[in-house]
Amino acid sequence: MIIDGKGIAREIREELKVRAAAFEEKSGKKVGLAVVCIGDDPASKVYVRNKIRACEEVGIASHVHALPADTTQEEAERLIARLAVDPAVHGILLQLPLPEHLDKEALFCGIPTEKDADGFSDSNVGRLALNKCGTVSCTPLGVMELLKRYHVTVSGKHAVVVGRSNIVGRPMALLLLNADATVTVCHSRTQNLKEICASADILVVAVGKAKFIQADMVKEGAVVIDVGMDRDENGMLCGDVDFASVQNKAALITPVPGGVGPMTVAMLLSNTLDAAERTLK
């Protein structure tokens, strides 16, 4: 069975629309997401455009700040400091990648925990590690939402996460652990990767290599979640999993595109709404 991330994300946006309208009625103002995009990365421009479109659909005001590639650290920090105290802004998103001369960590430190729509701040990551309430990185959160909506039992299952990046693999492993899975995290130094993957009940792949996971690395009946967004030999968008061969073995599998990608944007909106609703409490 193929997981319909696009459809689930649409469903979530409908739910968020209701919550955004309720917030507006209670507070007299719109939920606001500030998007800071620095530089000319073409992929970032597409992602930002998708996020703005999704905000519009749900009724969230997006405040876009597109800065040139030669923006100084001081200018970027000044903007973030202004957004941090702007009452019309409930969530701040700093689009990655940033130009190399900018100190990413210092900029993220300027985003207050309560406005950290991406869940990248040290305090939110710490809360996740301690299994406490906080804002969670959108992509892994989207994966958990897909598992939930497809009624996948996580507790007691062997979940294998391939990739340990700060934005996907690491928080993904923590979320699965917090949901009582037995978690194995694999990375570029892992030995016996094939055997470990083939023992997974739930396999989440975030490596960034086209069709890296082949059918012989997947257990019959496994749930396979492909986070990858890569290009194949013909320049077509594909995932880290060889969908054509693996779909015959998996009980559930996400396609690329139309799997995890749309969920990332939906979770960004959800995190922003959570942040706005917290201001009412």
Catalytic residue among 4, 118, 201, 242: 118
Exactly one of 6, 29, 149, 164 binds ligand NAP (CB under 6 A); that residue is 164
Encoded one letter per residue, x for contact with ligand NAP by CB under 6 A and - for no contact, window 64-93 reads ------------------------------
Alpha-helical (H) ranges within the chain are: 5-27, 42-58, 73-84, 104-109, 122-129, 138-149, 169-178, 193-198, 243-246, 260-278
Encoded one letter per residue, x for contact with ligand NAP by CB under 6 A and - for no contact, window 247-276 reads -------------xx--x------------
Segment near ligand NAP (CB under 6 A); pick from 53-61, 147-155, 221-229, 243-251: 221-229
Helix (H), strand (E) at residue 145: helix 138-149
> Angle at which helices 138-149 and 5-27 pack, to 10 degrees?
110
95 is an active site residue = yes
Smallest gap from residue 138 Cβ to ligand NAP (A): 7
Segment near ligand NAP (CB under 6 A); pick from 34-42, 66-74, 111-119, 163-171: 163-171
Question: Under a CB-based contact definition with an 8 Å cutoff, are residues 187 and 163 in contact?
Answer: yes
51 is an active site residue = yes
Strands (E), 28-124: 31-38, 60-67, 91-94
Question: Under a CB-based contact definition with an 8 Å cutoff, are residues 251 and 37 in contact?
Answer: no
Q: Does residue 213 belong to the site contacting ligand NAP (CB under 6 A)?
A: no
Q: Does residue 188 belong to the site contacting ligand NAP (CB under 6 A)?
A: yes
Could you say which DSSP state residue 186 is in?
A: E
Catalytic positions are 51, 95, 118
